[in-house]
Amino acid sequence: MTAKDKKLSWPNIWPIFLILALIILVIGGAFSLFFFKGRKIQTTDIKSVEKIIDLPFTSKERKLMLEDVRNHANIYRRLRRVSLPNNIPPAFYFNPQLTGENRVSRETKNIYQPATAFSPSFAAVVNSNFKRPENLEEVAFYPVTALAELIRTGQVTSQELTEIYLRRLKKYGPKLECVVTLTEDLAREQAKRADEEIARGKYRGPLHGIPYGAKDLLATKGIRTTWGAAPYKDQIPSEDATVIKKLEKAGAVLVAKLSLGELAWGDVWFGGRTRNPWDYAQGSSGSSAGSAAATAAGLVGFAIGSETWGSIVSPSTRCGVTGLRPTFGRVSRAGAMTLSWSMDKIGPIARSVDDCAIVFEAIIGPDGVDLTCVDKPFRWDPDLDLRSIRLGYLKKEFERDYRNKKNDMKSLEVLRSLGFELIPFELPADIPVDSLSFILNVEAAAAFDELTRNNLDELLVRQGRNAWPNVFRQARLIPAVEYIQANRIRWLLMKEMAERMKDIDVYVAPSFGGSNLLLTNLTGHPAVVVPNGFDDQGHPTSISFIGQLFAEDKVLRVARAFQQATDFHLRHPQLKE
């Protein structure tokens, strides 16, 4: 090796490469910091955003905007330093009423009194034909109306019933993946108290001693409330949700916190995928996944679910149970996870319309916390003359080709046989309802903003295009002006819907297809979904009834008449052990 070769050998030149690499890294880091983090917003950035918001500006307009757009970025940073827990609402709220009626009475008591055992309306639905069976396990599928009479008459104790449901939750819950937390200690305590009170003659009403399950987005004091999502799986509230308080006041027994699709979407949660009791290979749909599955499987007497856009209707359909989505503002959401301040609604999922009516009566009314909640009575007459109810039907929707049309057409015939003259009814056609769906996305992105900003959304199970992490990020690119404009169009939709419903009290609709489900969730109208048959694979199907605002009494009455003329709600799945 020559002296020249020695000078150029690797041991002699590697320090030079190392120094060059370090220089490149330092310069590259500074470049990246300047251009991607510390670089001021330029007019070219504004021009790029124009494509996203579909609104072009001129060069002069961009220059005029520039300094204030830069200031906005600083304002965002300052605002983000303020911690906003999920339960903090915006300073404005949605009102489905167009007349400006007083929504909350200052004199209203925080907790409504539940129905008594001798309330005329509920005395009519209590089923005295059910007797204690030789095999007590059979009562697991009894409706609340039957369970209530068994408990009231002393044929079955609340403690007996509670132990039956706890055993079933342990036996079938893991396979259905529908239970987040068993509330055994609380349930036994509440059941014991119920039996003692009833023995002393203090009977609170038809829910006294009835075991139930709650969707795990309702806060329970000292018991974890996970919202179905890993970032919140160890969350333990210090206070009960208003709905939980009202059910406790009615004497109901909480046996389980039931699964929901993570952050109220679908049936997938951090513990798995909730199953349809009729077909374990199929998910139960969501987001009230566990509430519907557990009710169908006879693991609870009834359950509480919630709906923003189909989360009661869809799993109730899949699992073959009855669900009530109340009018927006009927049930306080205090203590419930917020997804959309202007669309969230809480309601019962049960085995019959009568059961839903009983539970609904117990949970309605303002609490002074959720200011969207109204002070309106629920006057339900289960024997109301059907001739006094004007029933419409979505003629165009029933005429199109769609899945399960056969069962729906049979349902219309049942209604006609009950004496209803079905009135053709059409939804507003000149308003782009589907284009309003991003209202939900924007509100949900705001409710879970910290997940996105802190990259905690990576902990969620579902990460695809149709999943919350992606939707939250997209929503940040929707201008505030467009969100406001969409809500102005929403007001037009509410106004037109109110005008059209002057001629009817209730209308019947296919549970899915068309714009009905989204539209009525945007306008806040109540709906009752009931089973109406089975498809070719043996899966339950459903039909929906929608009523005027705060007219749950008439919607329930029509749905009750349908159920009395059919038996689909009396069938239950054969469970796998």
Catalytic positions, written as ranges: 215, 287, 311
DSSP characters over 188-256 = HHHHHHHHHHHHTT----TTTT-EEEEETTB-BTTB---TTSGGGTT---SS--HHHHHHHHTT-EEEE
Q: What's the CA gap between 52 and 44, in Å, rounded?
A: 13
Q: Which residues pair with 534 in a beta bridge?
A: 540
DSSP characters over 383-406 = T--GGGS-EEEEHHHHHS--TTHH
Q: Which residues pair with 508 in a beta bridge?
A: 393, 545
Q: What's the CA gap between 547 and 273, in Å, rounded?
A: 33
Q: What's the CA gap between 96 and 323, in Å, rounded?
A: 21
Among positive and negative, which fits the CA dihedral 193, 199, 201, 204? positive
| Cα–chain center distance at 565 | 29
| Cα–chain center distance at 279 | 23
| Region class of 213: left (phi > 0), else alpha (psi between -120 and 50), else beta | beta
DSSP characters over 18-43 = HHHHHHHHHHHHHHHIIIIIIPPP-H
Which residue type, as a one-letter code, is found at position 423? I
- The pairs formed by 102-109 with CB atoms below 8 angstroms and a separation of 24 or more are 102/375, 103/329, 103/371, 103/372, 103/373, 103/374, 103/375, 104/366, 104/368, 104/371, 104/373, 104/374, 104/375, 105/366, 105/375, 108/365, 108/366, 108/368, 108/375
Q: Which residues pair with 268 in a beta bridge?
A: 273
DSSP characters over 409-440 = HHHHHHHHHTT--PEEE----SS-GGGGTHHH
What's the CA angle centered on 235, arms 231 and 236, to 5 degrees? Answer: 175
Nearest by Cα to 205 from 248, 165, 142: 248
